[in-house]
Structure 1
Amino acid sequence: MTIRSGRSRFRSTVVALAVAALAVGGAATVVFQTTTPARAASPVEDEGADCPVSVPGSLTANSRLPDPFRRLDGTRISSKADWRCQRAQIRELVERYVYGDKPAKPSSVTGTVSSSNITVNVSHNGRSSSFSASVQLPSGSGPFPAVVVLGGFGADTAAIRSAGAAVISYDPYVVGREGTPRNNKQGAFYSIYGNTSSTGLLAAWSWGVSRIIDVIESSGGNVLRTDIGVTGCSRFGKGAFAVGALDQRIALTMPIESGSAGVPIFRGIPGEGAQSLSSAYGEQPWLGDAFGSFTGNPNNLPVDTHEIVAMVAPRGLFIMDNPHIANLGPRSASVAALGGAEVYKALGAGDNITYWSDVSDGSHCANRAEWRTPLQQHIQKYLLKTGNAPGTIRIASKAAGNLSQWRDWQTPTLTDGPSTPPPTGQPTTPPPTGQPTTPPPTGQPTTPPPTGQPTTPPPTTPPAGGSCTASVTPGTVWGDRYNTSVTVSGASSWTVVVAITPPQRVSTTWSGSFSWDSSGNVMTVRSNGSNTFGFTTMMNGNSSARPQIRSCTAG
């Protein structure tokens, strides 16, 4: 990475130097760069939809930013694979206390995609609604990636198209209208879910973009690809931020000058002189109804916006901010970016987040020369897949927040490999590559498969090794995954070697001490006080192979 201060340049491997520089009053602009590759967006809207999450029964005031690595049971995640369900926990808190519920894909979503227009038709539980968005293609031959532009102002659409991406002009008001009371919300979303829904406009707008993506996915890809970005300024910057956080198919999220109810940390807004939380909550029903309980006491929130930043990880995130308007809360926004960047770095994706408030023009939602090149570089990197420009934290000195004043937690070193269970030995977090339902130690899934009836694979007869025997009990197959439970007899202390046939991969493990060879296809399991262990395997297109016991050794 490279850290730049003013015009001088020096190299360092210590990330803390960038943060320390921000703690100095009047510090010059700080630029933080690394060189990790771009991460692909997910093929699904919500990877953690199957993760078991229970919200806290009571809330405890905390003036510091909540630890994004801490589970609700008090334990901390320790592997990168744990992030999938940790993110699901954060999403549950965000929807419950901040945005309101964003429902999953409705029972029927149809529509059309042309070179000039996208139509969306939604039906669910006997209700229906429709809306459309216009399309402007760049020059050249498609299909093209696209950037969804909320609201039609503040985004540099000319730069987007010249970079090679289409512009989808999306009017959020057709999905969730402003100027309505909370008990009579209007728009396509509320036509489906009711005008007294407690879901705020930002989540409703996000739902609308998700339905646009559904239609693009089903269109055959002749005009638009499924490489999608999202942007918007001011209130539509709030919306773009929510869109990217709540749909993991978004490859690049670019909120601009989003202000209160957007990127700035809720806990920092009262002390910065930004638009108050009560004002933002009351101006429009942007936030969910439940947030009204926290406008005067954000310290009681079990979540904050640095964790919404983290929800975008490891996908591309380019936050553009204005340090000249205190009402936008730019200092608090920089803290949110720095806090969320800790998750990016822990996931090995520190290069995929950019925060840029070092701009000279203070006009709200202006097209700025400082952002044009990085904007196009981000489109090339995340949507066109032709670039690899480094991520940048470039904070104007007049609005530089200090993360160290807001956190009492440290960033862990997350390991590679399968997810790690909490101390109880219960599997909780499958890896980010799939959507396995978390099984209990018995090897049975906690939720039924999404379609059809589960089938049971044929028994596996494992070889005996040394002075112990490892016996396999095949578990249930559901979707693209299955469980395996192993019982060891003949020794109280043992080591079992299990081979997995590629491209299958183990996702979740429990009740043993697991390690892997360099290929990731052979795992060694050692006893940890139990005579059984188990794991879930993702089939990845190979539905016939089953794990094989290579050896069982006592001692």
Structure 2
Amino acid sequence: MKYSIVLPLLATTVLAAPVLEQRQDACTVPTSFPNTANAKLPDPFTFFSGKKVATKADWECRQKEISAALQAQELGTLPPKPSTVTATFSGSSLSITASEGGKSVSFSVSIKKPSGTGPFPAIIAYGGASIPIPANVATITFDNGAVGQQTDRSSRGKGKFFDLYGSGHSAGALTAWAWGVDRIVDALELVDTGINPKKLGVTGCSRNGKGALAAAALVPRIALGLPQEGGSGGAACWRISDSEKAAGKNIQTASQIITENVWLGPAFNTFAANAKTLATDHHELAGLVSPRGLLVIENEIDWLGPVSTTACMKAARMIYKSAGVPDNMGFTGSGNHAHCSFPSNQQADLTAFINRFLLDGTASTAGIEKGPTADVSKYIDWTAPTLT
């Protein structure tokens, strides 16, 4: 049995070199995806056809396949760049208008820049930053809830994204926000704001942490993902969260999430009660960010699933290692602090990633893998190849 939906490739990907165009054309992205029960984390290195991923070019194709499956079964479709995107910048406000099919929507973000002369790197912060952003990095505050509402289940199909694409669009709020991030990058490329659009990070905490990971995965122009305390729906794997729940942990699971809010697309309702039938899991969502920078910041609160986030992100680091960039991803978990506060013992990890991926520094991001004891081998039945 297959779950089917027609999907475009990742939005806003521009491939200029002919050899890359040929490689993209060589990627056959299916429109139907497995839903056979599998309690283990799906193998990121096996195409749905059964073919093994052996090369880095194979992995680029497999990333497109994984993205398509995630959009079909969980996130909803990320539309391509609208027909028209315009932007204006005044003071600290960047105003963005997107038009498609005779409709237009507008939203604004605020930019707080360092003193001195740019262009500056920047971090797009959902709802405002809850991590400390260095003085030499700009902050772009994004009201993501205006683009895709997230009050409760009644928010389905509401917000600027749905005003443009229709209230019945397949996207959940996480995908709508990723679309908003994509349009922010468009605007930064169109207008001189003093921001370097090639040096952008994205962050958010809790529900917005789920969104920041999705945006880093779906928007290839993001240089550094900094999702914070997203737990299940973010850095946790659905299957591991379910196993932790079965073991008596007080942990958010897919079944709970769909009763709380509209972060995931409506298609996900089919899978939430039986997440092991998903074709993918969130180690692969994180793997979509590869080879770009990703630091997952977590908190050892039961509801967030510290064992699930740790084991899931260990599996994601295996993907990065196979791709030849093991130190482009790290995760840092810490306990004994309030939700969405930022403890000093995670500062060095954050500083290193910002230094390397946004500031062109040489800080080491090697081997950042911190969290509770979690044996990833319990949850996988595959090995990670060395890709040529």
Q: Same fold (TM over 0.5)?
A: yes
The structure with the largest alpha-carbon Rg is 1
Q: Which position in structure 2 is the counterpart of 1:167?
A: 139
Q: Which position in structure 2 is the counterpart of 1:414?
A: 387
Q: Distance in 2 between matches of 1:83 and 1:383?
A: 25
Q: Distance in 2 between matches of 1:43 and 1:177?
A: 21
The amino acid that maps onto 2:378 is Q
Tell me how far 1:57 sits from its aligned partner: 5.8
Aligned match for 1:392, one of 355, 367, 374: 367
The amino acid that maps onto 1:383 is L
Aligned match for 1:348, one of 318, 324, 338: 324
SS at match of 2:28: coil
Q: Distance in 2 between matches of 1:302 and 1:109?
A: 34
Matched-pair contact (CA < 8 Å) for 1:148–1:231: yes
Matched-pair contact (CA < 8 Å) for 1:56–1:72: no
Counterpart mapping for 1:308-457 below 5 A: 308-323=285-300, 325-357=301-333, 359-396=334-371, 399-415=372-388
Query: CA 1:114/1:346 → structure 2, altered by over 3 Å: closer, same or farther?
Result: farther
Q: Distance in 2 between matches of 1:119 and 1:78?
A: 44
Query: CA 1:82/1:115 → structure 2, altered by over 3 Å: closer, same or farther?
Result: farther
Q: Distance in 2 between matches of 1:57 and 1:113?
A: 43
Q: Distance in 2 between matches of 1:228 and 1:254?
A: 11
Query: CA 1:115/1:341 → structure 2, altered by over 3 Å: closer, same or farther?
Result: farther
Query: CA 1:75/1:376 → structure 2, altered by over 3 Å: closer, same or farther?
Result: same
Aligned match for 2:282, one of 299, 305, 310: 305
Tell me how far 1:361 sits from its aligned partner: 3.0
- 1:326-373 Cα offsets, whole Å, 9 max, x none, are 11011111111111111111111001111111x343310002212223
Query: CA 1:185/1:204 → structure 2, altered by over 3 Å: closer, same or farther?
Result: same
- TM-score, normalised to structure 2, is 0.89
SS at match of 1:263: coil
SS at match of 2:35: coil
The amino acid that maps onto 1:105 is K
- 1:222-251 Cα offsets, whole Å, 9 max, x none, are 444431000111001001000000011110
Matched-pair contact (CA < 8 Å) for 1:146–1:227: yes
Query: CA 1:121/1:165 → structure 2, altered by over 3 Å: closer, same or farther?
Result: same
Q: Distance in 2 between matches of 1:171 and 1:184?
A: 17
The amino acid that maps onto 1:217 is E
1:285 and 2:262 correspond: yes
Tell me how far 1:55 sits from its aligned partner: 3.9
- 1:96-119 Cα offsets, whole Å, 9 max, x none, are 011010111110111024551211
SS at match of 1:65: coil
Q: Which position in structure 1 is the counterpart of 2:184?
A: 212
Question: Greater helix percent: which structure?
Answer: 2
> Which ranges in structure 2 are unaligned for 5 or more consecutive residues?
1-9, 16-22
Q: Distance in 2 between matches of 1:183 and 1:151?
A: 17
Q: Distance in 2 between matches of 1:154 and 1:392?
A: 24
Matched-pair contact (CA < 8 Å) for 1:46–1:247: no
Matched-pair contact (CA < 8 Å) for 2:331–2:370: yes
Q: Distance in 2 between matches of 1:58 and 1:205?
A: 27
Q: Distance in 1 between matches of 2:202 and 2:33?
A: 35
Q: Which position in structure 1 is the counterpart of 2:80?
A: 104
Matched-pair contact (CA < 8 Å) for 2:230–2:298: yes
SS at match of 1:268: helix
SS at match of 1:161: coil
The amino acid that maps onto 1:303 is T
Q: Which position in structure 2 is the counterpart of 1:461?
A: none
1:194 and 2:166 correspond: yes
Q: Which position in structure 2 is the counterpart of 1:523?
A: none
Question: Greater strand percent: which structure?
Answer: 1
Equivalent residue pairs, number: 366
Q: Which position in structure 2 is the counterpart of 1:134?
A: 110
> Which ranges in structure 1 are unaligned for 5 or more consecutive residues?
1-41, 416-555
Q: Distance in 1 between matches of 2:24 and 2:150?
A: 29
Matched-pair contact (CA < 8 Å) for 1:116–1:135: yes
Counterpart mapping for 1:74-93 below 5 A: 74-93=50-69
SS at match of 2:268: helix
Query: CA 1:116/1:178 → structure 2, altered by over 3 Å: closer, same or farther?
Result: same
The amino acid that maps onto 1:402 is D
Tell me how far 1:77 sits from its aligned partner: 1.2
Query: CA 1:411/1:79 → structure 2, altered by over 3 Å: closer, same or farther?
Result: same
Q: Distance in 2 between matches of 1:71 and 1:43?
A: 21
- TM-score, normalised to structure 1, is 0.63
Matched-pair contact (CA < 8 Å) for 2:228–2:296: yes
Cα RMSD after superposing both structures: 2.1
Q: Distance in 1 between matches of 2:309 and 2:108?
A: 32
The amino acid that maps onto 1:230 is V
Tell me how far 1:388 sits from its aligned partner: 3.4
Deviates more, 1:276-285 or 1:299-308: 276-285
Query: CA 1:349/1:44 → structure 2, altered by over 3 Å: closer, same or farther?
Result: farther
Q: Distance in 2 between matches of 1:234 and 1:400?
A: 22
Counterpart mapping for 1:32-47 below 5 A: 45=13
Query: CA 1:82/1:184 → structure 2, altered by over 3 Å: closer, same or farther?
Result: closer
The amino acid that maps onto 2:179 is W
- 1:346-403 Cα offsets, whole Å, 9 max, x none, are 111001111111x34331000221222322221121011122322333323xx32211
Q: Distance in 2 between matches of 1:138 and 1:236?
A: 24
1:226 and 2:201 correspond: no
Q: Distance in 1 between matches of 2:33 and 2:78?
A: 22
Matched-pair contact (CA < 8 Å) for 1:137–1:165: yes
Matched-pair contact (CA < 8 Å) for 2:41–2:380: yes
Q: Which position in structure 2 is the counterpart of 1:255?
A: 227
SS at match of 2:213: helix
Query: CA 1:144/1:391 → structure 2, altered by over 3 Å: closer, same or farther?
Result: same
* Percentage of matched positions with identical amino acids: 37
The amino acid that maps onto 1:176 is G
